[in-house]
């Protein structure tokens, strides 16, 4: 049976509409009771999950942040894309650090069994540590940086949490290089630098990009937690502020923004990965 040509577009839209419909049905709504003279006597929320804002309430409350996405009304009162941009800048810096540190470390692990035996237990202990645990250490390490301490602590947390997939996937890729490739390099008497750049890196690239992609996803997750704890402007900081202010509609806006940005970053990384693999 021939598949429908537009199913890649239609089916996700149908899925999204079903989820939005289920959310709207489960959410609560505000009921206002008035007396005979039209004065409000009581207000209450009713519904399966009364406290959960419905789609209409979420849109009406979030409209100023969506319709003016780059507005700046205050430090923690900005358009949603402006908040997103602030978060992305910090993520880019932390992600770059993670790749700069993680890629060579992965190569060393892949090339040297002794180095692997020495470092692998340490990596396995550090790798599962939550960003919520790394951030306080970062604050301590950069205590002397004054007002920049929270930014540097967030940067440190992003880098150390995001680099492990790059380290491990690069190491696996180096170990998976066919011995024939290395033998040919020896026969051709390639220098160590040429063996690295002409043989090892191209052969390891698919594994490296898998690690880069996973690291990017983790970096985006970590920035939200870091901003929530440090209170710096960004999507995570805005989310935490709205939670403290009990504005649940804008919490949902932040969650949707975080999810969409994460999806876009993953797609972009996928495109870059395909271009490098076909180059």
Q: Which residue has the tokens 């207000």?
A: 43
Is 190 within 8 Å of 198 (Cβ atoms)? yes
- Cα angle, residue 277 at apex, residues 112 and 216 outer, rounded to 5°: 70
| pTM for this model (two decimals) | 0.84
Rounded CA separation 173/179 (Å): 13
Each residue's pLDDT, cut to its tens digit, for the chain (279 residues) gives 555 667 788 888 999 999 999 999 999 888 888 777 778 777 888 888 988 999 999 999 999 999 999 999 888 889 999 999 999 999 999 999 999 999 999 999 999 999 999 999 999 999 999 888 999 999 899 988 887 888 899 999 999 999 999 999 999 999 999 999 889 988 888 898 999 998 999 999 989 999 999 999 999 999 888 888 888 889 999 999 999 999 999 999 999 999 999 999 999 988 888 877 665
- Cα angle, residue 218 at apex, residues 214 and 76 outer, rounded to 5°: 145
The pair of structure tokens assigned to 50 is 């009364």
Rounded CA separation 159/251 (Å): 26
């Amino acid at each position: 049976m021939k598949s429908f040509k537009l199913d890649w577009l239609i089916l996700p839209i149908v899925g999204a509409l079903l989820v939005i419909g289920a959310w709207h049905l489960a959410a609560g709504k505000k009921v206002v009771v008035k007396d005979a003279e039209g004065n409000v006597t009581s207000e209450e929320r009713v519904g399966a999950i009364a406290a959960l804002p419905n789609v209409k309430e979420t849109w009406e409350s979030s409209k100023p942040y969506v319709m003016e996405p780059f507005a700046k009304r205050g430090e923690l009162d900005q358009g949603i894309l402006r908040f997103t941009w602030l978060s992305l800048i910090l993520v880019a810096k932390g992600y770059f650090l993670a790749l700069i540190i993680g890629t060579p470390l992965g190569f060393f692990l892949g090339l040297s069994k002794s180095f692997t035996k020495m470092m692998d237990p340490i990596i396995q202990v550090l790798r599962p540590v939550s960003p919520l645990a790394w951030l306080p250490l970062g604050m301590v390490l950069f205590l002397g940086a004054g007002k920049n301490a929270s930014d540097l602590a967030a940067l440190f947390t992003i880098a150390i949490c995001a680099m492990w997939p790059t380290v491990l996937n690069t190491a696996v890729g180096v170990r998976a290089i066919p011995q024939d490739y290395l033998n040919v390099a020896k026969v051709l008497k390639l220098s160590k630098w040429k063996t690295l750049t002409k043989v090892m890196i191209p052969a390891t690239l698919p594994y490296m990009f898998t690690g880069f992609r996973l690291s990017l996803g983790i970096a985006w997750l970590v920035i939200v937690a870091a901003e929530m704890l440090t209170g710096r402007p960004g999507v995570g900081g805005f989310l935490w502020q709205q939670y403290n202010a009990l504005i649940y509609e804008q919490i949902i806006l932040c969650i949707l923004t975080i999810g969409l940005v994460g999806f876009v970053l993953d797609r972009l990384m996928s495109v870059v990965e395909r271009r490098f693999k076909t180059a």
